[in-house]
Amino acid sequence: MMVRRLLTKLLLRPEDVSPSRDDFEVVGVFNPGVARVDGEVVLLVRVVERPVERRPGFTGLPRWDASGGLIVDWIPDQQLDAIDARVVKRRDDGLVRLTFTSHLRLVRCGDGRAVREVSGPLFLPEAESEEYGVEDPRITPLGDRFYVTYVAVSRHGPATALASTTDFRTFERHGIIFCPENKDVVLFPEPIGDSYWALHRPVCGTPFTRPEMWIARSPDVMHWGGHLPLAVSGEEWRSGRVGGGAPPIRVPEGWLVIYHGNRQPARPGDVGAYYGGALLLDSNDPTRVMGRMAEPFLTPELDFEVAGFVPNVVFPTGIVRDGESLLVYYGAADACTAVAEFSERELLDAVAACPG
């Protein structure tokens, strides 16, 4: 069953955002966490930047230092192998580094379809566990606070950390809640039974299985257990990676989950295309998959989705209701932020057409 895009708006490009320092350049503004706050849609956007300076024979690799702030390590090119646009590998020990660093900024969007205001750097790396950047936030309202899960990247690998806020001006950091390597953690917006729930993506280093999305539960949002895989892998479009996208939303039929899939790269240096999919979980037992679309409903089609820092990427990370429509916010080509509008009924009918 076909799900139509009712509207697509490009909201932010790298040139729309100033770097945190004059000697850096912004190469991406994407993968936003999304919330409706006092009637306005706000985005917590990942801003990716790298050094402007180029030194012949060297590659500049930025990191955050607790005492010195943002610094650059200049590494001789003969000591590095390029993996893709995002990553280099050290030849002497096989360890990798990012070619950029990331922080978060607040973007106010009014009704959700246009940018009204972009803040300066708001949420910067602090601890050693964030030295290579903070990435890909997801926002979930719980009680009187907004909880933000985000990826903390460091020499220890990508972990998922938690922060919370009441006003999006100041944040309380709660630390790492899923150890490396685990990403794409999204919280359910209310307890189910006596537990809070989350989707997460363990990164399997040993290929016993294709990539999987897992679910876990917690008594307090801080301590997680009861881990189980969800039955969502299989199709080619999610053969490389599969994981949480936007936080689940409650619908009469259960929990609607917008997630991402990645096609396994065809050759070295490729990342593989990214897509948006949808599934339905049982309202009282979210470990039970009630329905899932066999094909993605969001695919890289438009110019800014096909060409960018990493081509052929649509990566959904936030969703808000607008009447009978759903506004799905996503990163495009690891460069831009965009929003696409869909009929909630069409999405649910498409999911229901493919029972779990």
Q: What is the pLDDT of residues 305-328, one digit of tens each?
A: 999 999 999 999 999 999 999 999
Does any domain span residue 247?
A: yes
Does any domain span residue 285?
A: yes
Residue 176: half-sphere exposure toward Cβ, Cα within 13 Å: 21
Q: What pLDDT score does 234 carry? A: 67
Looking at the structure of the chain, the number of domains it has is 1
Q: What pLDDT score does 289 carry? A: 94
Residue 112 pLDDT > 90: yes
Nearest-angstrom CA–CA distance, 270 and 231: 27
To 5 degrees, how large is the angle CA 83–CA 29–CA 212?
Answer: 55
Q: What pLDDT score does 233 carry? A: 65
What does pTM read for this prediction?
0.96
Does any domain span residue 185?
A: yes
How far are the Cα atoms of 50, 105, 338 from residue 37, in angstroms, in the given order? 31, 16, 19
The 10s digit of each residue's pLDDT in 251-301 is 999 999 999 999 987 777 678 899 999 999 999 999 999 999 989 999 999
Which has the minimum average pLDDT: 15-19, 227-231, 261-265, 327-331? 261-265
Does any domain span residue 1?
A: no
Does any domain span residue 201?
A: yes
Residue 355 pLDDT > 90: no
Q: What pLDDT score does 270 carry? A: 78
Gap between the terminal Cα atoms of the chain: 16
Does any domain span residue 208?
A: yes
To 5 degrees, how large is the angle CA 282–CA 31–CA 260?
Answer: 40
Q: Which domain holds residue 329?
A: 7-352
Burial class (CB in 10 A: 0-12, 13-18, 19+), 282: middle
Q: What pLDDT score does 326 carry? A: 98
Where residue 146 sits, what CATH number does that domain have?
A: 2.115.10.20
- The better pLDDT of the pair 269, 110 is held by 110
Write down the mean pLDDT value for the chain.
94
Q: What pLDDT score does 203 carry? A: 86
Nearest-angstrom CA–CA distance, 329 and 112: 9
